[in-house]
Amino acid sequence: MAKAKLDPTEGTPFEAVIGLEVHAQLKTRTKMFCGCENRYGAEPNTLTCPVCLGHPGSLPAINRRAVEYAVRVGLACGCEIARFTKFDRKNYYYPDLPKNYQISQYDMPLCGGGAIDVYVGEAKRRIGLTRIHLEEDAGKNIHAEGRPESWVDLNRAGVPLLEIVSKPDLGTPEEAGAYLRMLRQILLYLDVSDCNMEEGSLRCDVNVSIRPRGTSALETRTEIKNLNSFTFVENALAHEIRRQIKVRSSGGTVEQQTLLYDPARDETRVMRGKEEAHDYRYFPEPDLAPLSFTEEWVEGLRRSLPELPAARYERLQNALGLSAYHADVLVRDRGMADFFEECVALYPKPQAVANWVVNAVREEANIRQVSARETGVSPSRLVDLVRAIDEGKVSNQKARDVFKALLGNERPVADVIRALGLEQISDDAFLRDAVSAVIQEHPGPAEDVRKGKKNSVNFLVGQVMRRTKGQANPGMVAKLIGEVLGAS
């Protein structure tokens, strides 16, 4: 069912052409062109000043950190970084834009070209970028349900915003989702944005058209605005592609429109019809000098880039031998992947460690909405637990109870295993006695084992486990039963 939803062109003579425009707020301390605090959730209109309120005569100044963040993103995506760039005014009128223009970048964006590699199932696809530029965010209009008036909150006005525009290289809603997830991971790894879609720090517009499969011309497209979750992006695209296929299949033509997606009803509404060629009357921002960068400055930023998610995803599989699933789950959360790598440095059994991090640690972190580190089990204690399992001191099943008992305290793993009475018994002589006793009590099944019935081995192991209150090492017990009864 999910598959049909994600590939709406399947079984039709059409293919979809999708491009994404993503806006990411940068998490600088202050706004893009003034010293106001850049913070979400403050009392409305408390983080403002004459510059971001657009008072006449106030002068903007460029936030150096925001430029640095933007260049880091460009470098991480393999873009060409402009050595000379400028800001422009984009003129339009709207209540949340007190200056009546937005400072943006028009014909000389900070970054051009570049690409993002995305993984869809087994396949890796390279999605090209058109450009990345810097601009400022607008304020926010607030329309309260059932009230005749609207409000404007200008705390967001002037917050640094990065616009990342992809080429129309995406073919399915699933690919669009994968692209967004990878872009989000890159921004999080670079530590330049919170990427919190609910708070609006990551927002997405999509362009979509269809064309006969195998052709290459770009046809009339529609744009869907203001999608604030990955699921909405995928659902809205699937919905819109199906709608366009229906129109074309019945002999109609797709009109150029801007649409709004209603997630509650899974439908799109027309926001405005054929967009008149907007005259934003762009012109160079006269209050800001153009920017030029030295080679050294750009190269310094390049050298400071962390390992990026795609490279890490491949390394975890190729160098550490993890499954694609484990690598993917770990890489999605930088803190979780760092935690995992610290564990492996202490105990170089990557897959065994990954199982515990991906299951137990992640589950606990998700339930409590904390990071891996904040769960209260340090890498060294988790590693002690994995080692205890490997050494047969506790069974894999009981280890989950030990893990729970490790949370929120500093007690050594060995002590916790002992205190819970979960020590696994691997003592040969003790287990032999238990096996002999069970064989005497159950001569029928023992005879079956001698005749080669595997199921009866399981029965006898179960009896030994019962006798030892679950503490016997089941692997050793099975082996001993085989030895004693002369079965393999």
Q: Which stretch binds Zn ion (CB under 5 A): 50-58, 119-127, 318-326, 341-349?
A: 50-58
Binding mask 312-341 for Zn ion (x = CB under 5 A): ------------------------------
Orientation angle between helical segments 324-331 and 334-346, nearest 10 degrees = 120
- Minimum distance between the CB of residue 228 and Zn ion, rounded to whole angstroms? 25
- For Zn ion, which is the closer residue by CB, 154 or 259? 154
Which of 280, 285, 293, 291 lies closest to 60, judged by CA?
285
Residues 6+ apart with CB under 8 A from 190: 69, 72, 73, 76, 305, 306
- Minimum distance between the CB of residue 204 and Zn ion, rounded to whole angstroms? 27
| DSSP 8-state assignment for residue 375 | G
Which of 388, 308, 378 lies closest to 339, judged by CA?
378
Q: Which stretch binds Zn ion (CB under 5 A): 45-53, 70-78, 391-399, 476-484?
A: 45-53
Options 6, 16, 32, 34; binder of Zn ion; rule CB under 5 A: 34
49 lies in the site for Zn ion, by CB under 5 A? yes
Q: Which stretch binds Zn ion (CB under 5 A): 16-24, 41-49, 109-117, 291-299?
A: 41-49
36 lies in the site for Zn ion, by CB under 5 A? yes
Alpha helices in 63-196 (DSSP H): 64-76, 173-189
- For Zn ion, which is the closer residue by CB, 156 or 398? 156
- For Zn ion, which is the closer residue by CB, 42 or 218? 42
- For Zn ion, which is the closer residue by CB, 34 or 127? 34
Residue 379 half-sphere exposure, CB side, CA atoms within 13 Å? 16
For residue 398, which amino acid is it? K
154 lies in the site for Zn ion, by CB under 5 A? no
Q: What is the dihedral of CA 50, 56, 62, 67, to 10 degrees?
A: 90
52 lies in the site for Zn ion, by CB under 5 A? yes
59 lies in the site for Zn ion, by CB under 5 A? no
Q: How many CB atoms lie within 10 A of CB 95?
A: 11
- For Zn ion, which is the closer residue by CB, 52 or 138? 52
- For Zn ion, which is the closer residue by CB, 9 or 38? 38
d(CA 339, CA 118): 24
Which tokens is 207 given? 């362009």
Which tokens is 91 given? 């003129």
Which tokens is 69 given? 């963040």
- Minimum distance between the CB of residue 39 and Zn ion, rounded to whole angstroms? 12
Count of residues binding Zn ion (CB under 5 A)? 5
Residues found near Zn ion in the complex (CB under 5 A): 34, 36, 49, 51-52
